[in-house]
Amino acid sequence: MGITRDSKMIDKALIENSFEQAAETLGDITPLVYEQFFAQFPEAEELFNIKGPQFNADLKNKMVSDALYTFMEYLDTPEEVEIVFKYTIPQHVDLNIPMKYFTGLLSAVAQVVCDTTPDQDKAATSASWSALLAKFDALVVKYSTE
């Protein structure tokens, strides 16, 4: 069918390298993710008390691990992420969690992971992450408005 005109390529190896780099240099990325997320959306802090304050930390951990899982899963099996988002996005909408926070948390995870990439790979890795986030933003739009 000729040469693809899609310049927004997701380079799986670069994304995977950034995950490895993040794990090596940061270990648990969760505290940095929320530092970044709440710097942008301080008012979103209370959303994590939605199940009761005793579940605040568990919920924070779970949403970051779910975000990481879906990013990794997308590289191999994007249709699996479609299935997850198809049920969980309406679930978040029903919980009155504005989608800007859902996408904001995805961006914060992506940023923290991408920031650990060494300089020589930074530009290409960052471009891949942008393309991946664009796919996720499109899924959020698709399943929050259906």
| Phi, psi for 45 (deg, rounded to 5) | -55, -45
Closest among 117, 120, 101, 86 to 34, alpha carbons compared: 101
CB atoms within 10 A of CB 55: 13
Is residue 66 a contact point for ligand HEM (CB under 6 A)?
A: yes
Q: What is the residue whose two structure tokens read 């259906």?
A: 146
Is residue 101 a contact point for ligand HEM (CB under 6 A)?
A: yes
Question: Binders of ligand HEM among 23-52, rule CB under 6 A?
Answer: 44, 47-48, 50-51
List the one residue from 10, 21, 74, 92 that touches ligand HEM (CB under 6 A).
92
- Got the DSSP string for 57-69? HHHHHHHHHHHHH
Nearer Cβ to ligand HEM, position 82 or 118? 82
Binding site for ligand HEM (CB under 6 A): 44, 47-48, 50-51, 59, 63, 66-67, 70, 84, 88, 91-92, 95, 97, 101-102, 105-106
